[in-house]
């Protein structure tokens, strides 16, 4: 039912209004818990609520911190298992307000050189002001990333391709391969089979036929622009730019499909 309502809102150009009401509702429902969080963690830097809602779809500071820690721990485990040993140069593409990136060092990679990229200048400005020890850069919605060829050993992104068109995914796969050093790895996530239940009947038919499904009617890259990628399609896309592609079994900390591509 929710997916049908969102489709109707898209057709009637009401998503902006619905999004505003959704935001105000979240602010109201999370206000008491957020005050408790601030009292318990007074030194924990928190982004503006509007930025957090745009990036994550909620305004819960407990969720912002807890999911950031959990996702960072899962990413670090993958990096330590798959990347070459040594001091790593790691970048998060689509870092938003640093929800994951701020926890990468404490999760076990304190000697890594960390960088973050995002299209939202406000998010980048906030990160630069509040998250020390990490370099942050604004990037455009389309490649190239403002980084030299071979600049990083690891690039990861969580829930970014899930909000892009297929042409953008294809372009970014090539450019993220460009900024990786030989032997470097890309960690990417997608909406795969675990999200098939969210598809409408005609969308499900296309997905089952191996075709990616995108719901437009909203600005690309934002949370209501949703894309779903059959695993066979993701593997074929990544193999155009990488020598080996590994699909990681689903795990509670990272509910989306996780892909590791080796340059």
Of residues 256 and 4, the one with the higher pLDDT is 256
Provide φ and ψ at 45, rounded to 5°. -65, 130
Average pLDDT over residues 58-78: 96
pLDDT tens profile 88-124? 999 999 999 999 999 999 999 999 999 999 999 999 9
Q: How many CB atoms lie within 10 A of CB 224?
A: 18
Q: Could you tell me the CATH number of the domain that includes residue 19?
A: 3.40.50.150
Mean pLDDT within 165-191: 97
pTM of the model: 0.91
Residues 134, 90 contacting (CB under 8 angstroms): no
pLDDT of residue 1 exceeding 50: no
CB 259 within 8 A of CB 155: no
pLDDT of residue 21: 74
Rounded to an integer, the average pLDDT of 28-38 is 92
pLDDT at 156: 98
Range(s) of the domain holding residue 160: 2-262
pLDDT of residue 27: 83
Q: What tokens were used for 28?
A: 């109201």
Structural domains in the chain (count): 1
């Amino acid at each position: 039912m929710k997916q049908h309502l969102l489709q109707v809102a898209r057709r009637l150009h009401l998503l902006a209004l619905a999004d505003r009401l959704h935001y105000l509702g979240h602010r109201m429902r999370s206000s008491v818990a957020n005050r408790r969080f601030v009292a318990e963690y007074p030194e924990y830097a928190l982004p503006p609520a509007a930025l957090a809602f745009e990036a994550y779809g909620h305004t819960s500071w407990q969720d912002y911190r807890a999911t950031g820690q959990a996702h960072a721990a899962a990413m670090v485990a993958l990096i330590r298992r798959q990347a070459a040993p040594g001091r790593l140069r790691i970048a998060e593409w689509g870092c938003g307000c640093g929800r994951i990136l701020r926890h990468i060092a404490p999760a076990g990679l304190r000697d890594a050189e960390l960088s973050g990229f995002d299209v939202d200048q406000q998010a980048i400005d906030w990160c630069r002001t509040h998250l020390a020890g990490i370099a942050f850069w604004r990037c455009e919605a389309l490649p190239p990333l403002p980084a030299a060829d071979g600049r990083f050993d690891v690039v990861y992104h969580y829930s970014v391709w899930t909000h892009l068109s297929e042409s953008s995914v294809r372009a970014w796969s090539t450019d993220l391969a460009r900024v990786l050093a030989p032997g470097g790895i890309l960690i990417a996530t997608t909406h795969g089979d675990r999200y098939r239940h969210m598809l409408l009947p005609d969308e499900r038919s296309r997905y089952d036929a191996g075709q990616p499904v995108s719901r437009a009617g909203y600005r690309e890259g934002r949370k209501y622009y949703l894309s779903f990628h059959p695993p066979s399609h993701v593997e074929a896309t990544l193999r155009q730019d990488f020598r080996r592609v590994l699909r990681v079994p689903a795990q509670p900390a990272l509910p989306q499909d996780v892909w590791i591509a080796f340059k």
